[in-house]
Structure 1
Amino acid sequence: MSAHPDRILFEAICTPARSLGRRGMLAVAGLLLVLSLGIGFAFSLLGAWPVLGFTGLESGLVLGLMLLHRRWAARSMEVVLLTESSLTIRRTDAHGRREALELDPYWARLRLEERPGRVSLLLLRQRQRSVEIGRLLGEEQKRDLAAALEAALRRYREPVFDNPQLRDS
């Protein structure tokens, strides 16, 4: 590794959308448990008391799956990093597995492919290689990422040099 690390020209950190915070999650869990107890109690009054156990089991399963999904989503991330020498995509999936891809930023081309009824694909292409980025993002966030990265790549390929000798005096 060199003594002088490359200067960062662009960096984007992509994470999945998490609409519920901690308080929201507790509210959903409380509501689910109250409804479950209400349904179980109503069936118990009708003489179907075994339903009470099943509603409790279902509630526990739903809450457990919500917590697992929340934990896995917290691990997932993608970092797009443009430096003076490379364009790097680092990914961490829900299970903690990491992957890093490196492209030459001068030759990398960005393309947003529309898919009717589905979220668009955001692809970085370099010669015969194509890499999807922004997998964790929604449609609007992908468009924002595409615009920002395209502008950063354009600045990289077409730098503006400031030569004091050429300035008007």
Structure 2
Amino acid sequence: MSAQTDRVLFEAICTPARSLDRRGMRLLASALLLLSLLVGGVSALCGAWPVLGFAGAETLLVLGLMALHRRGAARSMEMLVLTEGSLTIRRTDARGRRESLTLDPYWARLRLEERPGRVSLLVLQQRQRQVEIGRLLGEEQKRDLAAALQEALRRYREPVFDNPQLRDG
């Protein structure tokens, strides 16, 4: 391959939204632990001491599931790369499994399907093959990605050539 075919025309990296950073997670975990200790302590003082163990176990389960979800969200990503020869979709899921798909950008068509009450579906289609993209994104981010990728595909299919001989002057 020549350097010309490797030139990146468009690149997008999609990651899931993560509303809490490490500090926020620590604060939330501390608040949950404190609340659990408070409920367990009041229950123990009232004579229902077994509640203390159940409240602690429930809190540890919730914090463990949150940590597991956070770790998976940190791994999940989708990368779209449009070059002069291909449109490549590389995905990594929450478990770290990787998948790569390549489409011909000239024949790829982008479709945003509205779904009432749910996040829209963003689909790349090439002949009989359909690939959902932007699974990790919310509604607004999908619309932004659709507009940007649609524009990049349009520029790819309709290149503007600069011929000095055709310039006025």
Smaller-chain TM-score bracket:
over 0.9
Instruction: Tell me which residue corresponds to 2:111.
Output: 111
Question: 1: CA distance between counterparts of 2:131 and 2:25?
Answer: 35
Q: What does residue 67 of structure 2 align with?
A: 67
- Name the structure 1 match of 2:127: 127
1:149 paired residue number: 149
* 1:163 aligns to 2:163 (yes or no): yes
Match of 1:42 in 2: 42
Letter in 2 for 1:9: L
Local SS of the residue matching 1:99: strand
Once the two structures are TM-superposed, the CA of residue 50 in structure 1 deviates from its matched residue by: 1.2
Give matches, 1:23-102, under 5 Å. 23-102=23-102
3-state SS of 1:80 partner: strand
Identity of aligned residues (%): 77
Following superposition, the deviation at residue 53 of structure 1 comes to 1.0
**TM-score under structure 1 normalisation?**
0.97
CA offsets, 1:72-121, max 9 Å, x none? 11110000100010000000011111111000000000000000000010
Q: Distance in 2 between matches of 1:46 and 1:99?
A: 56
- Provide the TM-score with structure 2 as the length reference: 0.97
Give the whole-Å Cα distance in 2 for the aligned partners of 1:72 and 1:118. Answer: 23
Please list every run of 5 or more consecutive structure 1 residues that lacks an aligned counterpart in the other structure: none
- The alignment partner of 1:58 has SS state of helix
1:3 Cα offset (Å) = 5.6
Q: 1:125 is matched by which residue type in structure 2?
A: Q
SS at structure 1 position matched to 2:159: coil
d(CA) in 2 for partners of 1:112 and 1:137? 13
- Output the amino acid matched with 1:48: A
Supply the AA of the counterpart residue of 2:58.
Answer: E
Q: Name the counterpart of 1:140.
A: 140
- Inter-partner Cα distance in structure 2 for 1:3 and 1:133: 28
**Deviation >4 Å, runs of 4+:** none
Does residue 19 of the first structure (1) align with residue 19 of the second (2)? yes
Distance 2:21 2:150 in 1: 32
Deviation of residue 71 (structure 1)? 0.2
**Cα distance in 2 for residues equivalent to 1:96 and 1:42:** 43
Task: Report the number of matched residues.
Answer: 168
CA deviations on 1:32-75 (whole Å, 9 max, x unpaired) are 00000000010011001111111111111110110000001111
* RMSD between superposed Cα atoms in Å: 0.9
